[in-house]
Amino acid sequence: MSSPLSEQEIAKFTEAVAIANIPTLLMTLVQMTGERHWLEPPYRPARSVGLGDNDTGGLPDDIQAEIRAATLKAILAWRAGKPLAIDEPSPAMLVEMLSVAMGEEVPAHYGRFTSELFGHRPVPQDKVTVPPGFHVVVIGSGVSGICAAVNLKAAGIPFTVIEKNDSVGGVWRENHYPGAGVDTPNHLYSFSFAKYDWPMYFALRDDLHTYLKHVAAEFELYPYIRLNTRVQKAVYDEKAQGWTVTVQNADGQTEVLNANVVISAAGIFNPPVWPKIKGLETFEGPCFHTAEWRDDVDLTDKRVAIIGNGASCMQIGPEIQHKVKSLTIFQRSPHWAAPFPQFRKQVPEAMRFLFNEVPLYQAWYRVKLGWTINDRVHATLQKDPDWPYKDRSLNATNDAHRAYFTRYIKEELGDRQDLLPKVLPTYPPFGKRMLMDNGWYRMLRNERVQLVEERISHVDAHAVHTEDGVAHEADVLVIATGFDVLNFVNTYEIVGRGGQTLHEAWEGDNAKAYLGTVVPNFPNLFVMYGPNLQPGHGGSLIVVVEMQMRFIMDMLRQMNAQQVAAVECRPEVHAEYNRKVDEAHANMVWSHPGMTTYYRNDRGRIVVNGPFLNVDFYEMTRQAKLEEFVLEPRSA
């Protein structure tokens, strides 16, 4: 029996519901009361436009007030002990409810996927019986490694996580430059099994790193993690039907670990890439990559030059513009950036209270975010063969996006329309990574800031020289040229069956994997965040990682249930899957010839992004199909 609510608690709920998101309140109300009339007019929200939350639902004030009053009553009754009227909506009902919440039709097959997006799901606790000595080695303790560890521990499978750094967190441990943060709403960029009290709608680096450390602590993972230990090589032993993993600890000593299964969770945003610029090593001031930010370098009143203008530069520039004496940014090509109304927006204390105290509200908010940024834009990234303006856009909708983003850029530039030719891309929207605008265009209006289009010819002790003969003097040089993302799993060597290395199998920068996860000739190796898995059309990488891990766990369950020691993807299955990947990409924006992008290798093949809808990838990975693998029984 629940204890009665205090007046203070009732006041907090009242304050929160008064400012909460109407479509999310509606879904909470329906599930708490079971009253379906809330899904009908006049309560149906208008369609959500763009990436905003649609807080009012486009409804009249009196209807909003009625919804808020009914939801507050339902929440207080629930807190007083009344059970949910609909504890677990069916997939069909979830689709119906989400369609109402978004003001648009959600296809029927999104039911199961939507159910998985709910942010209050516990990790499956069904145990997997493994033979004595069975062990899994997980390489890396970032997002993917933590996800793997949580699932393995819940299933009772012995494992060890190897981490080269002194802390968990991966990319969010390593990247701590000014303004570093996530461009996915963090209520979606979080594990479904580990909700969190987020202070901002789009978290900055420190909050993200803290979250990952919190998850590692909450799930008691630290006893399984070996920090300050670097993997040098993993070699498959055909006779032993497993892997030998050579590691080096902080004092330089090496050790060989035996593993039945290896899960590579090293990610793709490492190591950093340095540009090949003549004389770069002769620069006499501080010179460092964004991924190796120098906290000991004070930028106050310094002449700062940044080489590269991608995501990290877009975050750094606006952050330091008023501190430096001057800021010179060397741009290789312009990029599209979407309005970012929730940039630096704090989650109000009342809303944090509601998120924490009513998990159902947070779950529906997460699901709504999922539909907004997951697959909604996918259809607009397909080429229309009859579209007459193929140089600038793909189809009519994509052209409308171009017009919208162009208007936005012009508005942000204000009286500096002279900058428009420099910053307006000629290629279609979404052709390169769509960035979130945190004041980039307004920053360019700052008289201290200069955007340089000319190619760099060389660097000397005190300046960056461009091909037009201009010397751009600088005290500090920041390299913002990204990472070696095309060469997957490149921080250690993997040797598979017959002595073939993974680097050889992938021809360097031409990585392919079935479901982005498994590769022929590499039995019992699973690659997290592998090739063709980045959700370039939209979505949360953490959602993709959880889908991968669900597939891996199902494979481990089936392997051990059927006394299988080794599984290896069949070559024909691998080849057919990647044929479909390439075929789908051929009709998508990332194969457009009008730009360069890190998604694409030198042969023109899309290696990083996935071409499939998130819902389709969910169905592909929901269960492992042993018939797609060569199976080796356990040897005597």
Domain ranges for the chain: 7-106+345-373, 136-271+485-633, 280-336+402-479
| pLDDT > 90 in the chain, percent | 86
What pLDDT does 341 receive? Answer: 78
Domain 280-336+402-479 fold: FAD/NAD(P)-binding domain (3.50.50)
pLDDT at 208: 96
pLDDT band of 123, cuts 50, 70, 90: confident
Q: Which long-range contacts (CB under 8 A, 24 or more apart) does 107-110 make?
A: 107/615, 109/615, 109/619, 110/371, 110/615
**487 versus 405: which is more confidently predicted?**
405
Q: What is the pLDDT of residue 636?
A: 55
Strand, coil or helix: 566 = strand
Per-residue pLDDT, 4: 80
Q: Is the pLDDT of residue 372 over 90?
A: no
* pLDDT for the residue 33: 98
Banded model confidence at residue 340, pLDDT cuts 50, 70, 90: confident
Alpha carbon separation from 29 to 52, 61, 71, 99, 349 (Å, rounded): 22, 18, 5, 15, 22
In this prediction, residue 280 carries a pLDDT of 96
Distances (CA, A) of 88 to 83, 131, 360, 418, 617: 12, 36, 11, 56, 23
Mean pLDDT value across residues 191-199: 93
Residue 355: count other Cβ atoms within 10 Å of its Cβ: 23
Q: Using CA of residue 211, residue 213, residue 214, residue 215, what is the dihedral sign?
A: positive
Most distant CA atoms of the chain, gap in Å: 79
Q: Is the pTM of this model over 0.85?
A: yes
Alpha helices in 424-540 (DSSP H): 440-444, 502-505
DSSP-derived secondary structure for 365-396: HHHHHHHHHTTTTGGGGB--TT-S-TTT-SSH
578 Cβ contact partners less than 8 Å away, ≥ 6 residues apart: 512, 514, 532
**Token reading at 240:** 């032993």
The rounded distance, in Å, linking the Cα atoms of 157 and 132 is: 11
Q: What is the pLDDT of residue 52?
A: 78
Phi then psi dihedrals of residue 49, to 5 deg: -105, 135
- The pLDDT tens digits for 391-432 are 999 999 999 999 999 999 999 999 999 999 999 999 999 999
> pLDDT-derived band of residue 450, with 50, 70 and 90 as boundaries?
very high
CATH 3.90.1640.10 describes domain 136-271+485-633 = no
Rg (CA), the chain: 26
* 150 has pLDDT over 70: yes
Helix, strand or coil, per DSSP, at residue 140: coil
How confident is residue 210, by pLDDT bands cut at 50, 70 and 90?
very high
pLDDT of residue 133: 95
**Helix residue spans in 80-136 (DSSP H):** 91-102, 111-117
For 277-319, the pLDDT digits (tens) are: 999 999 999 999 999 999 999 999 999 999 999 999 999 999 9
Q: Is a pLDDT exceeding 90 seen at residue 75?
A: yes
Q: What would the pLDDT profile of 248-287 be if each residue is shown by its tens digit?
A: 998 999 999 999 999 999 988 778 889 999 999 999 999 9
The mean pLDDT value for 529-538 works out to: 91
Which pLDDT value is given to residue 119?
Answer: 67
Please, what is the average pLDDT of the chain? 94
Specify the residue for token string 């307004």: 442
Task: List, for residues 30-41, the tens digit of each pLDDT value.
Answer: 999 999 999 999
Quick one: tokens of 600? 């694409």
* pLDDT for the residue numbered 587: 96
Q: At what angle do helices 91-102 and 22-33 cross, to 10 degrees?
A: 150
**Tokens 């070696």 sit on residue:** 484
